[in-house]
Amino acid sequence: MSVLPSLIAAVFDETFRGSREGEGWRVGSVSRDIATVHHLVTGAFACANEGGAGADGRGFCTHIIFLRSGKLTIDQHGRQRRLVAGDIFVACGWQPMALAGSGKVDMLVVTLPGWWSMQRFMDKFQLLPHLYISREYFAASIIADLAQRILDLDEADRQTIAQALNMLADLLRTALAAGANGDSVMPRARGRMGDILWFIAQNLEHRGLSASDAARDLKCSARTIYNTCAAHGTSFSALVTETRLVAAQYQLIRTQDRISQVAYEVGFSSLSHFSRLFRARFGITANAMRNGNRAEITDSHRA
């Protein structure tokens, strides 16, 4: 069982792909459009994840945790949340997190790009630590069933998966808003790094987006922006580039828009520059992504 904590931690920093199992435990991951769905079945465990977007910004993601059996304690943002079967929790991948499971733990984890989550269900009114849905919420079981359906769908059925993910976001938005307690609010993505990530997600299409732009919006100095990103092992430009590339991947998979149109809509000013960065990031060309070479996409998705 000694390998288990590291495998579970790898799920939450997105370095684990495929399936592995041993005596009393199983971890599996599959790609579903822009989401990755992880299924974990195990006994007691404890692990931690440092969080923080890496040098390429890939840590900018959210993890929607659906606990189906056992108990799970999540420590994030300096607060603990104890989950029981039927509870749902949204964790921010760019923040440190500690997890401890007891009993026979069975959970689904749907991992989504942070920019997508912020635009669709973690809006400026959604406040941490209220990214939690109790099993007692009337639609909690419906949301959990939808997550299972997304896992069960054929990967080739892109249109249905896209519709299901949008529906999941709509349901999460409503449920999270219903559970928010206005008497004890705190920033949606606590700390300066969360503010920076939010700014990027909301201004992605603006070309020439700079740390100075972020500083003006967040009422701080550009040096503060640089230092905050450096403290998380990345840079402002790396976060912007990574978010734009993942947004472009999303558009290429789900629309028939021209590649040049996609590149410009996510903020690139040069098609050739976009094409070079896209191939370096995903291992295939934007055209190959558009044409649906799913085998190559899966192999290179988090390479």
Residue 229 has pLDDT above 90, yes or no: no
Domain ranges for the chain: 4-179, 192-300
User: Over the stretch 16-50, which tens digit does the pLDDT of each residue have?
Assistant: 778 898 888 999 999 898 899 999 999 999 999 87
Task: Give the closest residue to 72 by CA, choosing from 49, 106, 95, 39.
Answer: 106
Which residues have a Cβ under 8 Å from the Cβ of 224 and sit 6 or more positions away?
A: 192, 215
Q: Which CATH number applies to 192-300: 1.20.1260.10, 3.40.50.800, 1.10.10.60, 3.20.20.70?
A: 1.10.10.60
On whether the CB atoms of residues 79 and 125 are closer than 8 A, the answer is no
pTM score, whole prediction: 0.74
Task: Give the closest residue to 7 by CA, choosing from 31, 27, 22.
Answer: 27
User: Above pLDDT 90, what percent of the chain?
Assistant: 44
Residue 250 has pLDDT above 80, yes or no: no
Q: What is the pLDDT of residue 119?
A: 78
pLDDT tier at 6, thresholds 50, 70, 90: confident
Element (H, E) at 63: strand 61-76
Q: What is the CATH number of domain 4-179?
A: 2.60.120.10
